[in-house]
A and B are shown apart, each in its own frame.
Chain A
């Protein structure tokens, strides 16, 4: 069964360092997302990406964050200068639009297993 894969599973970094989190979404999906979750609490939306550009972003997704789909398969989240409060689990997700009829789907999000970021 196709799945979303994320690397690394855990990264420890010093405050102020740049971090890149990598994701390989499911190959035929069109929409890509990054969410973060601090200490098993709420799942916070960061950004959505469609047709090679950001379609929506939250107030969390400030100038320190950027996303890229450099080669048609990877989807990366970069944090330019990490802060202590960036410590969290970062989830990548992908999905297709909801379709009815013969090829119906629910349009649900498929999540990767997450990348745990620890900023010291």
Chain B
């Protein structure tokens, strides 16, 4: 079974608007971490934001924030004030346990920012 689900294969957003990229996960661990990575067309994997399962507040990093709903097992990425340079693939990932080595990725969402 898929551990990470990203239901939006592709998304479009107008420049300067906000966009939400969906991510749901499946784990029986109490301690886990959720990550978002960006992959621009150049191919490198860029870490964006992290949410720990015990973190009470939603993570924020600049224009990125994570809408963490633990009971629903969702960790949606919100990008505010989209820029053309935000056009990329976005991957949601999960690490199970603090010392767990299982680090799995979702299928990704391709975001296109329109001028």
Chain A interface residues toward B at CB < 8 A = 31, 33, 35, 40-43, 45, 48, 50, 55-56, 89, 91, 93, 95, 97-99, 106-111, 113-114
Considering the complex, give the chain A residue whose CB is closest to the CB of B32.
A98
Selected contact of A106 from candidates B35, B43, B44, B104, CB within 8 Å: B35
User: Size of chain B's interface in residues, with CB distance under 8 A?
Assistant: 24
B101 touches A108 (CB 8 A): no
Report how many A-B pairs have Cβ atoms within 8 Å: 63
- As a 0/1 sequence over residues 33 to 47 of chain B, the CB contacts with chain A under 8 angstroms (1 = contact) are 101010100011101
A-B contact pairs, 23 of them (CB 8 A): A33-B103, A40-B39, A40-B43, A41-B107, A41-B108, A42-B107, A45-B103, A45-B104, A48-B101, A95-B103, A98-B52, A98-B95, A99-B98, A106-B35, A106-B52, A107-B33, A107-B98, A108-B35, A108-B47, A109-B45, A110-B47, A113-B44, A114-B43
Chain B interface residues toward A at CB < 8 A = 33, 35, 37, 39, 43-45, 47, 50, 52, 89, 91, 93, 95, 98-99, 101-108
Considering the complex, give the chain B residue whose CB is closest to the CB of A113.
B44
Considering the complex, give the chain B residue whose CB is closest to the CB of A58.
B104
Given contacts A41-B108, A98-B95, contact A109 B103 (CB under 8 A): yes
Selected contact of A109 from candidates B35, B43, B44, B108, CB within 8 Å: B35
Most buried by B among A41, A45, A109, A110: A109
A55 touches B101 (CB 8 A): yes
Given the complex of chains A and B, what is the CA–CA distance between A106 and B53 in angstroms? 12
Nearest Cβ on chain A to B63's Cβ, whole angstroms: 18
